[in-house]
Structure 1
Amino acid sequence: MTRDEVLDVFREAGGILEGHFILSSGLRSPVFLQKARVFMYPDKTEILCKALAEKISAAGLGEIDYVVSPALGGLIPGYETARHMDVPAMWVEREDGEFRLRRFEMPKGSRVVIVEDIVTTGLSSRETVEALKAAGANVLAVACLIDRSAGAADAGVPLIALTEYAVPSYPADDLPPELAALPAVKPGSRGLT
């Protein structure tokens, strides 16, 4: 899929929002990719995740035993991508503030691809890589639907993005005036109590 085709799926679902947003990373942005609006539609989700599965397969990683995703945002794209790759899907979730593979056992040395929804800084990806390596997995790559960093994010392993979409993001104390003038909204889930 081309960048425009991926973004068109988001647009059709009402998943590209404009305003002043607090991202999961804590950074601020004038654009928010609300993937939950895309994931409401199984047909749209299937289109994106099938294309991501094809891109992962074309990356030459060899045999893959599992797709693992960080909860909560990665569950749907991880499951759907795993379905198209014909491998089991698992997830890590936070326990005492750290990702753990709580609900599953994975044989040591399992060949794993992490599937994310959207990558901005790579923090969730790196935390997932660390959790899986601690569990004895061989993490081959992180794959995502959209890389907001346009290749700048550090996932700790190779990053495969269905597309890149460079969206500006700023520290909260260094906002452009037009963004600072708008009320900040936090549409994501990280940090909610």
Structure 2
Amino acid sequence: MDVLNLYKETGALLEGHFLLRSGRHSPKFLQSTTLLQHPLYAEAVGQAMGELFDTLELDFVIGPAMGGVVLAFVTAKALGVRALFAEKDGQGGMRVREGLTIHPGERFLAVEDVVTTGGSVQQAIRAAEAKGARCVAVGAIVDRSAGRAEFSAPYRSLVQLDFPTYAPETCPLCQRGEPLQEV
């Protein structure tokens, strides 16, 4: 599957000057919600993600809200397990929403659309582990960390991209006066 082409076809690969959730700036941004709003593309991505992890014994797939909700669902569907999500807890972390059941000892896959630092998916992992579950793998559609994101479980992505990112104080786009877009 040519994941980058799916982003291009759906207008989900943006160019400009973007403030990433990590706080860094980048001239390119992947708007996964634009891609995943198309059910056929979302299912194809979920199937491809499922194939990366189909040898694992899993009880559920979890993703951080909002970006990981659809991805967790389509990946879980491909794997034949439950789909859960973690949401912000109002204290700088995440929690598993009441009504979504996790039993101690359950094994899970954590997924994220795009990993830059891995911070959001790490919070989702901690939320599930706080309920006694065990993360056995981490997956992403796109790894834009250039292999620098580290997790306590094996990590795989459908594609690895190396878009440049900059600290705000050294950003050449800021220095040129290009307007910054929050995403």
Where on the TM-score scale, by shorter chain, does this alignment land: which range? over 0.9
**Distance in 2, Cα, partners of 1:180 & 1:127:** 35
Mean CA deviation greater in 175-184 or 18-27: 175-184
Identity across aligned pairs (percent)?
Answer: 35
Mean CA deviation greater in 154-163 or 28-37: 154-163
Mean CA deviation greater in 128-137 or 104-113: 128-137
TM-score, length-scaled by structure 2: 0.93
Runs of 4+ aligned residues of structure 1 deviating over 3 Å after TM superposition are 177-180
Give the aligned partner of residue 94 of structure 2: 99
Given the superposition, is the C-alpha separation of residues 40 and 179 from structure 1 closer, same or farther in structure 2, using an over 3 Å criterion?
Answer: farther
- Give 1:36's match in structure 2, choosing from 33, 36, 48: 33
Cα drift, residue 105 of structure 1: 2.1
User: Structure 1 residue 13 and structure 2 residue 10: aligned?
Assistant: yes
Name stretches of at least 5 consecutive residues in structure 2 with no aligned partner: none
Cα drift, residue 185 of structure 1: 0.1
User: Structure 1 residue 23 and structure 2 residue 20: aligned?
Assistant: yes
Give the aligned partner of residue 75 of structure 1: 69
Give the aligned partner of residue 131 of structure 2: 135
Superposed CA RMSD in Å reads 1.4
Cα drift, residue 178 of structure 1: 7.2
Tell me if structure 1 keeps the 8 A contact 2:168–2:174.
no
SS of the residue 1:68 aligns to: strand
- Give 1:171's match in structure 2, choosing from 157, 167, 170: 167
Tell me if structure 2 keeps the 8 A contact 1:125–1:156.
no
User: How many residues align structurally?
Assistant: 181
Name stretches of at least 5 consecutive residues in structure 1 with no aligned partner: 188-193
**Distance in 2, Cα, partners of 1:154 & 1:180:** 33
Paired letter, 1:24: R
